Structures are given as C-alpha cells and as structure tokens.
Amino acid sequence: MIEFKEVAAGLRFPEGPIAMPDGSVILVEMFGKCITRVLPDGSKQVIAKIDGGPNGIAIGPDGAIYLCNNGGTFTETDFLGLTFPGPMTPSNYIGGRIQRVDIATGAVQDLYTECDGNKLRGPNDLVFDKQGGMWLTDHGIRHDRTADLTGIYYAKTDGSMIREVVFPTDSPNGIGLSPDGNTLYWAETHTGRVFKAAVTGPGEIVGFSSLDPSACLCGLPGVQLFDSLAVDGDGNVCVATLGMQFAGITVISPSGEILDQIATGDPLTTNICFGGDDYKTAYLTLSGTGRLVSMQWPYKGLRLNY
C-alpha cells in the first residue's frame, strides 16, 4: 500500500517539481503565475513572478532555472471542485517562450520565442543532457476548431541556438533521458503514447517517424492521457497519467512493459521528480487539488544532470 505524505497544499496548479539538495522543492504555479520554493515544513516562498503560463522547469549547468512558458495557453477552470486547465483566453496569451530565471534575484530573461521563423506556441517541459543542452517540448495550442502540430527541440542555454529535431508531434508534454543519456523519451498527451528515439549526439537523434512501430515505447488503452514524466534509476519511464479511468503514475520499463500504475486519486496528477539522499523520495504534483505530495519510490532513484 503506497503512502503519500502531503508536503504542501493551496498551490494554484503546481507543475515542474525540482527536488533541491537542501530538502526544498521548487515548482511552478501555472495559474499563480509564479515559481515557488516549498520548504520541508510546507511553507512557501515565491522565487519569481512569471507572466504567461509557467510550465516545466529544470536547473541548468549555471545553477539558474530554465523555464518552458506556455504563454497562457490555458484558463483556470473549476470543475467538480477541482482545478482544470480550461481553453485558452486569447486576450491573455503572450506567446510561448523559453526563459532563464535567476534563483537569487527572480530576474526573468527571454531566450527563445521562435525557431526558424516559427513561433513557439506552448512550450511545456524540458530536460538537460550531460553536455548542458536542453531538450524541450512544445505542447501547442488547442482552441476552438484548431490544434497545432508542434515539435521536439534542442537548445543552448545562452540563447544562441535552437533546433527543431522532431516534427510533427501531437501535443508533446513530458520529456526525459535514459540514465546513460542514449535514449530520448517524450509523452504525447492526447494520443496517450510515449515515444523514444536513439540519441547520437547533442541535439541529434536517429531518424524518427511516429509511423515506425519501434518508435512507440508504450500506449495506454481507453481514456488515459499523459502529462509530464521522469526517468528513474532503473531506466523506467514514469509518466503522470490523467483522467477518470486511472490517475497517477504509470511506470513503463525500457522495453515498453507496464510495470505498475500508482494511483493518487487526483485526476490531474501532472508530474514527478526524485529527491532525498538516495533519490528514492518521489515528489508528485497533484494539480487538480493543488497539492505537492511525496512517497517512497519502489525502484531505484536517479539524480538529474545539474
């Protein structure tokens, strides 16, 4: 029986948790429009105010926070007593962007708003490789009768280079690397699939096609949607799973076998990260109820680059 410990409550759609060495957890509050540090006692400190829609974050090689800002592609919506990401309010949308945030000062710097003349629409999540570059997803926008086809990107932290590596993708969300850095994984929300690609160098992969069956690590039946993900020390892809059929974390082996589904009771379980001395404490963002919880991870933990 999995036991969850509530670390903090009253968060406005928490996402992108980062377990810090001092025992705190840094996360975004997408509808609070801020980056928040949650201390071990549950108290909260605002690191930076963020216009638009703060989404996935990661610590870069320089110790700064790197942020996928979806630009405000969702509207805070109450449904059945839970907070849901409702359709975009166009007047609130500022455009997608990748940003650098100074932890000490809260200063926010735009790094990228487009790639090869194409605007970033709704950047969602990112992960750093050992070389200090960042892989990132653009979830895109679904509004009225339209839905974007978007891509997987690779970028440098100094704002000098962003490259589209995979196109097209359908609502890409969480992204992660295998422990050895040789496999890139990403989850598509609305298809309920995790894809994989072999990494051959910084920002380079073996040719990818979503029509290639070997490129699909796993897909779930029924109405089970995917959000963000983390890769653990056993190489398992641990994907936050949304919906009323199942809500929690789906654990997928590197061979594509579903090893476990850990239910949380929140249909908007959005993200997971690992921390603690042995990286076997998992922190989960339960965004529908606005909580950060922790649990003991039953597999090997993993420390992210930087």
Here the CATH number for the domain that contains residue 170 is 2.120.10.30
Strand partners, 199: 205
- Would you say residue 1 has pLDDT above 90? no
Classified as helix, coil or strand, 88 is coil
The pLDDT of residue 229 is 98
Q: What pTM was estimated for this model as a whole?
A: 0.97
Per the domain annotation, does 236 fall within a domain? yes
How high does pLDDT run on average in the chain? 97
Establish if 53 belongs to a structural domain: yes
The answer to the question of residue 110 being in a domain is yes
Cα 203 versus chain centre, distance: 19
303 lies in some domain: no
Q: Which class for 198: exposed (0-12), middle (13-18), buried (19 or more C-beta within 10 A)?
A: middle
How much is the average pLDDT of 257-276?
A: 97
SS (HEC) of 31-78? CCCEEEEECCCCCEEEEEECCCCEEEEEECCCCCEEEEECCCCCEEEE
Residue 287 has pLDDT above 90, yes or no: yes
Residue 147 has pLDDT above 80, yes or no: yes
The pLDDT assigned to 210 comes to: 85
Query: How many domains does the structure of the chain reveal?
Result: 1
Band the pLDDT of 211: cuts 50, 70, 90: confident
Measured CA to CA, the distance from residue 182 to residue 195 in angstroms comes to: 14
* φ/ψ (deg, to 5) at 3: -110, 130
Q: Is residue 301 part of a domain?
A: no
Whether 253 is covered by a domain: the verdict is: yes
* Cβ-based neighbours of 280, under 8 Å, separated by 6 or more: 274, 296, 297, 300, 301
Query: Is position 304 within any domain?
Result: no
The two beta strands, 248-252 and 258-263, are antiparallel
DSSP notation for 121-183: --EEEEEE-TTS-EEEEE---EETTEE--EEEEEE-TTSS-EEEEEEEESSEEEEEE-TTS-E
Rounded to 5 degrees, φ, ψ at 222 are 70, -155
Give the mean pLDDT of 158-182.
98
Confidence bin at 101 (pLDDT 50/70/90): very high
Going by pLDDT thresholds of 50, 70 and 90, the confidence category of residue 163 is very high
Within a domain: 302? no
The predicted pLDDT at position 164 comes to 98
Domain that holds residue 64: 5-296
* pLDDT computed for residue 127 by the predictor: 98
